[in-house]
Structure 1
Amino acid sequence: MKKINLAVVGATGMVGRTFLKVLEEKNLPIENFYVFASARSAGSTLTFMGKEYTVLELTETSFKEHQIDIALFSAGGGTSLKFAPIAAESGCIVIDNSSAWRMDPNVPLVVPEVNPEAIRSHKGIIANPNCSTIQAVVALKPLNEYYGIKRIVYTTFQAVSGAGMGGWSDLEEGLKGNAPKKFPHQIANNCLPHIDVFLENGYTKEEMKMVEETRKIFDNQSLRITSTTVRVPVFNSHSESINVELNKPFEINELKDVISKGEGIIIQDDVANNVYPLAINATGHDEVFVGRIRRDESVDNGVNLWVVADNIRKGAASNAVQIAEWIIQHMM
C-alpha cells in the first residue's frame, strides 16, 4: 500500500485533536505528517504517534510545498472556501468537515457506510456531512435499501460539544451559575430549540442541513423530510428520535433484523431490561447505536427509531478518516 503525506488543517480544535486520535487508532500508511492551523496557533506543538509536531501556519503554498496527498480540514467554512481549492489545485484531496462544500453539486457528500462510491466522483474536494445527518443516514440506509423511505421526521437532542469548545464551556460554566457566552440562553438545566441561525421559513440552518444533506446522500431530491433540532445539556454524543414512513409494509422483527445487518450499526433494544442507546455509552465509539425500534401505529408502514452516536468521532473525525482510508485502499 502506498505511503502518503497527510495533513490536518485546524489541528488544535476539538475535532482536529480527535482527528489525531482516530488517525493513531487507524494506523494509516503515513509517510510524512503535518499539522496546520491559524497564525495564532502556529508554533505550538501536538503529539502524534509518540512524536511531537510543531503546528505550522496555513498558507497558500503549504500543500504544494509539502506535497500533501490528503488533507483533513476542520478549520471553519471561511478557511475551507479559501484553501480547499488551492489544495485541490496542488494535487491534494481535501476531506472537509465544514458546511462550506456540502451542497455544492460538484462535491460528493459522503458517509462511507452509506455511499462510498460517491468518493470516486471527487474533483479534489470531498465533504463530510453534518454530525446529526451522519448518524441518521447510517441508521436509515438499510431501511431505504430494503423497504424504500417515503417520509422522515427528525427530532434531535444534540450535545454541546457540537458547538465546539464554546458550547462545552457554556455548560460547564452554566452548572456553576455563570452566564452563557456561546448560546443565546443558559444551556445548563435547559433545552434550546435553536441550533445555528433561523431562516425565513422558520427552520434553523441546522434543521435544513439535515433535510438537504439526507436528500443528497440518498440521491433523492423528492424525499419528504422535516426536522427539529434541539441543544440539550449533555456534553457529548447526539441522540435522535427518527420517525420513518416506509414504502412497503414490514414485520417488526424482520425490520429489526434488516437494521442489525447495516454496516456500522449496533442494536441495543431490550426494553424489558432497560437496554437502549444512551449518549454516555456512545461516547468514544465510532458505531451508530439504534434502539426503541417500534411500529408507528398512527400511519401505514411507519416505524420509530432512537439513534445515538458520538458526534465528535462518528459525526466528524472518524467519518473523515474513514473516507481517507477508503481513498487509500481503492484509489491510490
Structure 2
Amino acid sequence: MSRVKVAVAGATGAVGREMLKVLEQRDFPAEVVPFASARSAGSAVPFKGAELTVRELKEDSFKGFDIALFSAGGSTSEKFAPLAAKSGCVVVDNSSAWRMDPACPLVVPEVNAHDLDWHKGIIANPNCSTIQMVVALKPLHDAARIKRVIVSTYQAVSGTGQKAIVELENQVRRLMSGQEAVPEVYPHQIAFNCLPQIDVFLDNDYTKEEMKMVNETKKIMGDDSIRLTATTVRVPVFYGHSESVNVEFEKPLSAKQARAILAQAPGVRVLDNPRERIYPMPIDAAGQDETFVGRIRQDETVENGLNMWIVADNIRKGAALNAVQIAEALIERDLVRVP
C-alpha cells in the first residue's frame, strides 16, 4: 500500500484511541494526525511509542489529507464530513449520521467492499451490533439464502461510552458496600441488571438501536427481502457485544455445513464444542479482531432454521477496526479520491 495522510477526528475518545491503536498494530502506511474539540486540543495521545499532539478540529483542517476517520459524534460528522470530502479527503464515519443516506456506502469489508466503488467522498461505518452479525450471516446467506432473522443482543456498556463504563464501576462498588446505586447515564441501575432499552423508543415501540440493525443489515447485505426483527439489551459487561441469532434459510443448511462455511469465512473464528464447554464469551472477544461464532445448532421448530451465538469486541471490530479495514480497502482498490 502507498503511504497516505490520515486524520483521526475524535482521537481522544474511546473509539478514536482504539483507531490509533489499530493503525499502529496493522502498520497502516500513513502519516497520522489526531484531531478533537478545542477542549482537547493540545493534549497528547500515544502512537508508535511516542505521543501525538491533538489539533483542534476546524473547517479547514482536512486540506492535504487523503483519508479521515471520524468518531466524534453525529453532529460533528454532519458538519465536518462534507467539508472534508469537499477538500478531497475521503471520510470514513463511525456515527449514524450517514448510514442510511442512499449516496453513502455502508460497508463491512468482509461483506460488501465492492460498495466502496461508488463512494462520493463519505463512507459510513455501521452500527457495532450490526457489523458482527453480518460478518457471520453473509457467508451463510451466500450458501442458502436467508429468509428471516430473529436477533437478541446483549451489549456491553462501552457501547455507550466512557461515562457508562465509570457508572458500572461505581454502581458495583456502591452496591457491594451496601450503598444505593445511582443511575445517571442509564435510566435504571445497570450493575447486576439488564436493560431492554438501547437508545430511544420509536413510534413502533422498537428502539432506535433495534431499527438500526434491521435497516443497516438490509443495506449492507444488498437484500431488502430479508426479514429481520431485533431486541437489543444492555448488560453489565464492560467490553464485548453478544448476540443470540436465529436464522431461517430458503434452502437446507445443516449445523455441520454452517460450521464448515464459517470456519473458512474472513474475519470469523468458530468456537463451538459445547460438550467441552467451548463457546464464545465477551471475555474471549475483548481486544480481538475476529467475530466469534458458536452454539451453532438446528432450530427444530422450523424448516431450514439454525441458531447461533455471535460475540465481538464492540470497540474494536464494532467500530475502530472496521473503519481502518475500510481505509485499507480504499487504498487496495485505488479509491482514495473524491469524485
TM-score bracket for this pair, using the shorter chain length: over 0.9
Aligned residue for 2:16? 16
User: Helix, strand or coil for the counterpart of 2:237?
Assistant: coil
**In 1, Cα distance between the equivalents of 2:165 and 2:116?**
33
Conservation of the 8 A alpha-carbon contact between 1:84 and 1:94: yes
1:90 alignment partner, one of 87, 104, 107: 87
RMSD over equivalenced CA pairs, Å:
0.9
**In 2, Cα distance between the equivalents of 1:180 and 1:68?**
42
**In 1, Cα distance between the equivalents of 2:11 and 2:261?**
38
Aligned residue for 1:33? 32
1:318 and 2:321 are equivalent in the alignment: yes
Conservation of the 8 A alpha-carbon contact between 2:147 and 2:225: no
1:236 and 2:239 are equivalent in the alignment: yes
1:151 alignment partner, one of 148, 152, 169: 148
User: Helix, strand or coil for the counterpart of 1:233?
Assistant: coil
2:68 alignment partner, one of 52, 68, 71: 71
**In 2, Cα distance between the equivalents of 1:251 and 1:71?**
43
Please tell me the residue identity of whatever aligns with 2:246: N
Conservation of the 8 A alpha-carbon contact between 1:293 and 1:304: yes
User: Helix, strand or coil for the counterpart of 1:156?
Assistant: strand
**In 1, Cα distance between the equivalents of 2:267 and 2:3?**
26
Conservation of the 8 A alpha-carbon contact between 2:254 and 2:298: no
User: Helix, strand or coil for the counterpart of 1:230?
Assistant: strand
Please tell me the residue identity of whatever aligns with 1:20: L
User: Helix, strand or coil for the counterpart of 1:114?
Assistant: helix
**In 1, Cα distance between the equivalents of 2:257 and 2:290?**
21
User: Helix, strand or coil for the counterpart of 1:84?
Assistant: helix
1:183 and 2:186 are equivalent in the alignment: yes
Conservation of the 8 A alpha-carbon contact between 2:145 and 2:250: yes
* 1:160-239 equivalence runs, <5 A: 160-177=157-174, 178-239=181-242
Aligned residue for 2:296? 293
User: Helix, strand or coil for the counterpart of 2:288?
Assistant: coil
**In 2, Cα distance between the equivalents of 1:250 and 1:119?**
31
Aligned residue for 1:3? 3
**In 1, Cα distance between the equivalents of 2:99 and 2:289?**
21
Please tell me the residue identity of whatever aligns with 1:301: N
Deviation at 1:285, TM superposition (A): 0.4
User: Helix, strand or coil for the counterpart of 1:227?
Assistant: strand
Q: 1:67-109 deviations in whole A, cap 9, x for unaligned?
A: 1100100000000000000000000000000000000000000
Deviation at 1:135, TM superposition (A): 0.2
Please tell me the residue identity of whatever aligns with 2:24: E
Deviation at 1:252, TM superposition (A): 2.5
User: Helix, strand or coil for the counterpart of 1:153?
Assistant: strand
Aligned residue for 1:130? 127
Q: 1:156-186 deviations in whole A, cap 9, x for unaligned?
A: 0000000001111111111022412210001
Deviation at 1:222, TM superposition (A): 2.4
Q: 1:15-67 deviations in whole A, cap 9, x for unaligned?
A: 0000011000011111x321100111111111211232211110101012xx1
1:61 and 2:60 are equivalent in the alignment: yes
1:108 and 2:108 are equivalent in the alignment: no
**In 1, Cα distance between the equivalents of 2:50 and 2:167?**
33
User: Helix, strand or coil for the counterpart of 1:82?
Assistant: helix
User: Helix, strand or coil for the counterpart of 1:179?
Assistant: coil
* TM-score, normalising length: structure 2: 0.96
After alignment, is 228-237 or 216-225 more displaced? 216-225
User: Helix, strand or coil for the counterpart of 2:109?
Assistant: coil
Identity of aligned residues (%): 60
**In 2, Cα distance between the equivalents of 1:52 and 1:292?**
43
> Where has structure 1 moved over 3 Å in runs of 4 or more?
none
User: Helix, strand or coil for the counterpart of 1:63?
Assistant: coil
**In 2, Cα distance between the equivalents of 1:283 and 1:105?**
33
**In 1, Cα distance between the equivalents of 2:5 and 2:254?**
49
Deviation at 1:250, TM superposition (A): 2.2
**In 2, Cα distance between the equivalents of 1:86 and 1:220?**
32
Please tell me the residue identity of whatever aligns with 1:295: Q
Conservation of the 8 A alpha-carbon contact between 1:173 and 1:180: no
**In 2, Cα distance between the equivalents of 1:169 and 1:33?**
29
After alignment, is 172-181 or 291-300 more displaced? 172-181
**In 2, Cα distance between the equivalents of 1:195 and 1:166?**
15
**In 1, Cα distance between the equivalents of 2:322 and 2:302?**
34
